[in-house]
Chain A
Amino acid sequence: MISRTLFFRLLRGHRVRLAVGLLVVVIWSLLFPVIYKAFQDSIAGKPIPPGAGNFSTLAGTISVGFIHPISIALFGILSAGLTVGALSGERQRGTLELLLSRPLSRRKILATMLLEGWLGAALVSFAYIVGTVIGAQIAGVQDELAFAQLPTLWAYGALFWGMFATIGIAASASFDTTAPSMAITVAFIMGNYILEVIGQFWDVVEPYRYLSLFNHFSPVDLLSNTVDASAALIFMVGTLIAGAWALYIFPRRDLAAPN
C-alpha cells in the first residue's frame, strides 16, 4: 500500500520543517490558556472574531486559538504544505523520473506522499493539544479543561487538516510545477476561511457560511461535548473526492514528458 523507504525519505526531507513547526505550534497553543487566565475578567463575554470561540470560557479560548489565522498558517504548512509540492515538486526538481523508474506503482507513491500529509495533520493537531495542556497547567486552569474531549478534538483536527492535505496532493498530482498546485490549495483554504470570517460580520454573506468547511469545524463544540457527526462526514467526503481525483489523474498523466 505504501513504500516505507519512500515514506522515511519524505519525513527526512521535511524533518526540520516538522520539528520547528510543531515546536512553534506547542508554544503558540500554550499561550491561549494563559491569555484566558490573564484577561479572563476584562474580556469575558466579548466575541472575538473570527470563528466559533470566545474568551469567556477556556474551551472558547482554545477554540479561538485553533482557528486563529496564525494557527491556520501553521496547520496548513504542516499538513497541506507537505503534500502540495510532493509530486509537482519532484517533477519540478527533475527527481520524479528516477522515482518512477523504481518498482513502485504510481498509486503507491501517491499514497505514501498522502500519508506524510496526514501524519503532519495528526501531529500538528496533537502538538496543539499538548501545548494547550501545558498552558492550562502553567495558568492553573487545568480543572476547566475537558480532558475527556481532547482525543475527539485531536481526531477532528487531524481529519480537518488531513482533508486539506488530500486536496494538496490532488493539486500536486495535477500539475507539473509547484506554483499552480500551491496557488490552488492556498486559494481553496483561504476562500473557505474568508467566507467563514466575512459571514460573521456581513449579513449578505451569512446565509452562505455553511458552504465554508471552517464553518463545520467548531473546537468549542467539540470541547463542550456537543459533537456534530455531520462535520466529520463532510470532511470525509471532501477527503474522498480529492483522493479519488488524485488516484484517477496521477496514473493517467504523462510524466517526465519534455517541457
Chain B
Amino acid sequence: MSSDNAIETRGLTKHYGKGGTIKALTSLDLTIARGELFGFLGPNGAGKSTAIRTLLGFLHPTSGSASVLGLDVVKDSVAIRRRIGYLPSGFAVYDYMSGKEYLDHMRDLTGRPSLLRHRIMDALELSDAVLKRPVRDYSRGMRQKIGVVQAMETDPELLILDEPSEGLDPLMQRSLQELLLERVAVGRTVFFSSHLISEVERICNRVAIVRGGKLVALETVATLVRFQRRHVSALVTRKPLRMAGISGVTDLKIVAEGRAFRVTCDAEAVAVPKLIARLQSAGIRDLLVEAASLEEAFMSYYGDAHDVVTDIPALPYALATSAVKRAAKRVRRTPATAPKRAVKRAPKRPVKRPAKRASR
C-alpha cells in the first residue's frame, strides 16, 4: 500500500455475529490521497462507523487490509493513533471534569502540544469561562464543540470525524466546515462521515457512498452531480414534436397553459442539449433547467427499482421525508409490469420548537 495515501483499504470486510451473519462492511476498496477532504456518506447503519472503527483498530477486520498514513491498521494501530485526530459519533466525556481539564487530559494522552486550541475555540465560540465549567453542565452542542477541539487541537496529519456536525447549530456547522477547509489548505487530510448531504456537497472534494456495508459510489462531488438527471420545465408557444423519442428523457408531461404549453420532464445530462433544441423549435418563452444536487445523487443510490427502501426511517427527518416522497412518487410512476417496490413510511414527528433556555 502506498504511503502517499492517507487511507487505503483493499477488500476491507467486517462481519459480526455467529458465522458472520451481520455484514456490517463488505469488501470496501477506498483510496484517499493526502490533502483530500473526503466525505463518507450513508444513512445510519450503512457501515460508515464500522469502517472508521476498523481503520482505528477498535474492530478487527474479518478479511481484507487497510492502511492509514502508510501504516497497517492491525499491526501499527498505536503509531497511527499518534498521528490522527478522531471524533466519534455520539461523543461522550468524563462528567466530573471541566472542559479544560478534559481537553488537557486528552491532549496529554495524545502526547502532542495543543497548537490550535484557541483558534478552534474562537471559531466555535467557546470561551475560557465556558471551559472552566464542569462538562456535566454542557449542552449537547457544547459537548460536541469540545469533541471537535480535542480532535483538532494537536493539528494531526489526518482527521477522522464521525458525524462532526451532530448537535451543532447551522452557524457552528458552517464554522466547523471553514475550519476543516483551513486544515486541508495547509496539507492536512480530513475524512468525515455524515448523513448531512448538503454539508458534504459544500466542502468535500470526493465522496464515497456506502449502502448496506458496500461501497456504491466513489467519485468527485462534481462528477456525481454531473451524471444526475436534470429537472426541465419549459413554457413553449407551440406544442413540441417528437419529444418522447429523445433518449434519456423520462416523466415527460405536456400540458396546455392558456395559449402556450408547459413541458416538464427529467433528463439525463447528455440529453439536455437535444431536448433544448426541440423546445427551441417550439418557441421557448420560459425555460428552467434545475441542476441535480448531491442529495439526488445520493437518493439515486438509495432508491433503485430492485430494493426495498428500509433505510428510510433511519435517515434524518427532512431527508427521510424527502426520500419517502420520492420513493412514493416513483411507485406511482412505475408501470404495472415493473417490479413493485415496498416503501416504508417515515414516522410522523411533531415539529419541535426549541425551548427557551434560562441563562446560567
Interface on A for B, CB 8 Å cutoff?
3, 5-6, 9, 12-13, 93-95, 97-105, 252, 254-258
Contact = CB atoms under 8 A, between A and B. Distances in A.
B79 interface: yes
Given A98-B106, A98-B150, A101-B88, 15 more contacts: A6-B109, A12-B96, A13-B94, A94-B90, A94-B91, A97-B92, A98-B88, A100-B58, A101-B56, A102-B109, A103-B78, A103-B81, A103-B111, A104-B81, A255-B59
B92 A257 contact: no
Contacts of A98: 86, 88, 91-92, 106, 150
B191 to A, nearest CB: 14
Given A98-B106, A99-B109, A258 B49 contact: yes
Interface in B1-42: 16, 24
B12 to A, nearest CB: 14
Contacts of B81: 100-104
Nearest to A253: B60
A96 B61 CA distance: 19
Contact of A254 (B60, B110, B111): B60
Q: Which 7 A-B pairs have the closest CB atoms?
A: A94-B92, A103-B82, A102-B109, A101-B86, A5-B108, A256-B58, A103-B81
Contacts, number: 74
B342 to A, nearest CB: 25
A95 B94 contact: yes
A254 B50 CA distance: 11
Contacts of B49: 258
A256 B89 CA distance: 11
Contacts of B77: 105
A5 B109 contact: yes
Nearest to B147: A98
B93 interface: yes
Contacts of B58: 97, 100, 254-257
A100 B81 CA distance: 9
Given A13-B94, A98-B91, A257 B53 contact: yes
Contact of B24 (A5, A100, A258): A258
B105 A9 contact: yes
- The DSSP consensus for interface residues of chain A is loop
B96 A13 contact: yes
A85 B4 CA distance: 42
A126 to B, nearest CB: 26
Contacts of A6: 109
A98 to B, nearest CB: 6
Nearest to B150: A98
13 contacts: A13-B96, A97-B88, A97-B92, A99-B109, A102-B106, A103-B79, A103-B81, A103-B110, A105-B77, A254-B59, A256-B59, A257-B53, A258-B24
A178 to B, nearest CB: 15
Given A5-B105, A13-B94, A104-B78, A257 B150 contact: no
B357 to A, nearest CB: 24
Contacts of B94: 9, 13, 95
Contacts of A94: 88, 90-92
B88 A104 contact: no
Contacts of A97: 53, 58, 88, 92
A252 B84 CA distance: 22
A5 B101 CA distance: 12
A192 to B, nearest CB: 33
Nearest to A254: B59
A65 B69 CA distance: 58
A99 B110 CA distance: 10
- Give the one of B50, B56, B58, B82 with max A CB within 10 A: B58
Contact of B93 (A5, A95, A255): A95
Given A13-B96, A101-B81, A104-B78, A256 B109 contact: no
Contacts of A5: 105, 108-109
Given A5-B109, A94-B90, A100 B16 contact: no
B88 A257 contact: no
Nearest to B77: A105
B78 A252 contact: no
- Give the one of A6, A9, A13 with max B CB within 10 A: A9
Given A94-B92, A258-B24, A258-B50, A105 B105 contact: no
Contacts of B96: 12-13
A6 B110 CA distance: 11
A104 B109 contact: yes
Nearest to B24: A258
Contacts of B57: 100
